Structure 1
Amino acid sequence: MNNHLIVVGVDGSDGSRRALEWAAGEAAGRDTAVRAVMAWYWDGIEADVLTATSPDEQRRQAGRVLDRQVQAVKAAQGSHLPIAADLVEGSPADVLTAAARGADLLVLGSHGHGRLHHSVLGSVSEAVIRKATCPVVVIPTPVPVSTPE
């Protein structure tokens, strides 16, 4: 690592928590900073009308999710590793690739959606991989271990 920065995409999901945990583990013991970045935007259509009634409320909710996820990872790791948290307005792929310019790594969590979900809704991970100027690490969704009956 040359630039001493790992950028992590955070969205409140279990996948992004795993990505943030992995990045914090990578940074531990090195002279490397971790920057958790959460993209948010308001289009008035896709927002959850029951909870976000304005762009300001959407931003506040996203900020709470980001802070909660960063604090949970810090507590779980028992680490004093500083994790910067940035809330940026814009589309996730654009925000994350811009934030990672000059970074050593960009880390994302997989949501583990199937092929149908991907073809209908697209994939932030795929868009980021195509646009990124640094290596991208995608932390996979754990596969449940089945036990014989």
Structure 2
Amino acid sequence: MKNHLIVVGVDGSDSGRRALEWAAREAAGRDTAVQAVLAWSWDGVEADVLTATSPEEEHRQATAVLERQVQAVIAEHGSHLPIAAETVEGRPADVLIAMARGADLLVLGSHGHSRLRHSVLGSVSEACIRRATCPVVVIPTHLGESVPDREPAVRAAQR
């Protein structure tokens, strides 16, 4: 690796956590740092059980999700891992592509958001594979593991 940086997209999902764990293992034993990135926006498309009431609250919640996932990986793999965490406002694919410019690798989970978000906004991993200037690794969902479906939460929030 030439630039000694692995950028990984984190979104609070199990798939994003697995991507961060894979990136941490890949960086371990090398002179490589991990930059965990969570893109957030105040677009009203995400409708989880805990919804933000303002852009500031959305940013705060995104930062808390990212910190929890980074701390969990550090606790599991050791504090010697250089993992930086950053929340960035914007569309996930655009943010991750920009953050990965000059990086050695961009790591993503294969599934993160609901099917509704995928059908409206498109796949983040597909966009990153097409447009990134560095190699992209997509960590698959475990075989036999179901992909979480948040559509019931979306329908409940729309009522």
TM-score past 0.5 threshold = yes
Contact 1:112-1:140 within 8 A present in 2 as well = no
Match of 1:78 in 2: 78
Normalising by the residue count of structure 1, what TM-score does the alignment of the two structures yield? 0.88
1:125-136 mapped onto 2 (5 Å cutoff): 125-136=125-136
Normalising by the residue count of structure 2, what TM-score does the alignment of the two structures yield? 0.82
| Runs of at least 5 residues in structure 2 that lack an aligned partner in the other structure | 146-159
Residues 119 and 53 (structure 1 numbering): CA distance in 2 closer, same or farther, change over 3 Å? Answer: closer
Match of 1:137 in 2: 137
- Return the offset for 1:78: 2.6
Residues 118 and 39 (structure 1 numbering): CA distance in 2 closer, same or farther, change over 3 Å? Answer: closer
Contact 2:11-2:112 within 8 A present in 1 as well = no
Contact 1:70-1:85 within 8 A present in 2 as well = yes
Q: Deviations over 1:24-83 (max 9, x none)?
A: 00101100010000100112x324485300000000000000000000111111342120
Q: Deviations over 1:8-33 (max 9, x none)?
A: 00000000110100110010110001
Task: Count residues in correspondence.
Answer: 143
For 2:118 and 2:68, the matched residues in 1 are separated by 31
Q: Which amino acid aligns with 1:120?
A: S
Q: Which amino acid aligns with 1:82?
A: P
Q: Which amino acid aligns with 2:78?
A: G
**Partner of 1:138: helix, strand, or coil?**
strand
**Partner of 2:38: helix, strand, or coil?**
strand
Residues 91 and 119 (structure 1 numbering): CA distance in 2 closer, same or farther, change over 3 Å? Answer: closer
Q: Is residue 53 of structure 1 aligned with residue 58 of structure 2?
A: no
| Runs of at least 5 residues in structure 1 that lack an aligned partner in the other structure | none
Match of 2:157 in 1: none
Q: Which amino acid aligns with 2:20?
A: L
1:111-122 mapped onto 2 (5 Å cutoff): 111=111, 120-121=119-120, 122=122
Q: Which amino acid aligns with 2:45?
A: E
